[in-house]
Amino acid sequence: MVNPSVSQTRIWFITGCSKGLGRALAETVLEHGETVVLTARNLQQIEDLVIRFPNRTLAVKLDVTKPEEVREAVKQAIAKFRRIDVLVNNAGYGVLGAIEEVKDEEVRSQFETNFFGVLEVLRTVLPQMRQQRSGHILNISSVGGFVSYAGTGIYNGAKFALEGISEALAQEVTPLGIKITIVEPGAFRTDFVTGSLVITDIQINDYEPVIGEMRQGARDILDMKLEFKEPGNPKKAALAIIKAVDSDNPPLRLVLGEDAIYAINAKLESVKTELDAWKEVSVNTAFDEVLVTK
């Protein structure tokens, strides 16, 4: 499955390295002897990695919602290392609230980071990878990029959009030697809730029976500094991602966590059941002279 001759000097470009999965992945890649372009909005948060690995890091300030910073970061990476072998679009955050509750500016901000920011980065890196005729792009989605949940619909929408372009992109660039993987983590023990979650301040009572418990739980964690013990180990997630990049045949979707596998399987079964139940209605929408064979 894994090519033993794979180079250990690949150049990784990772967004959102200051915390969470991005931090865990950057550190693990460096520990494996590879080179990382570390990006973050606050460079002080990644300074320790630069000190530990001075010869195999480049720290660049990057807010993915600012196209000029994206262009400059990629330009610096190419100038220093001459190539980018692995792009990891990891920077992102979540919004919690019912669809009707989330304010317009919160919706647009969510998509600016989780979708348009990713789009800007990958379209800036793609010309270099096309020239190389090689590369691997990993778009960090979520189980919430495949399965929607009440209370996270705006986040789900941005991640669904990301997965949509990723599927199309894979078909477009695979003939050019570029690989695409959508990473779908479940719940991992990062600081997502305490550091990367926005709870909308509009609260409509009609939605409380559906999302009230989730909202209060998140607020309790934030207000009382409670420890939320998610099952997933970020270090093991990083190792799984590296294994996928090392593979001769990496997956289009890399699902991380038993909870994510369960949720995705449940949705697939539900879709299949409903598809079968309504098949007759669905196929009977053709013109009478059209022969339906399936």
Encode pLDDT of 153-173 as tens digits: 999 999 999 999 999 999 999
pLDDT digits (tens, 9 = 90+) for 270-283: 999 999 999 999 99
Report residue 288's pLDDT band, with 50, 70 and 90 as the boundaries: confident
Domain formed by 11-91+103-191+232-283, architecture: 3-Layer(aba) Sandwich (3.40)
pLDDT-wise least confident of 73-77, 134-138, 230-234: 230-234
**Mean predicted confidence (pLDDT) in 107-129:** 97
Distance of CA 122 to the CA centre of its chain: 12
Q: Give the SS3 label for residue 39.
A: strand
**Mean predicted confidence (pLDDT) in 101-116:** 97
* pLDDT at residue 47, rounded to an integer: 95
Share of the chain above pLDDT 70, in %: 90
Question: Which residues belong to the active site?
Answer: 141, 155, 159
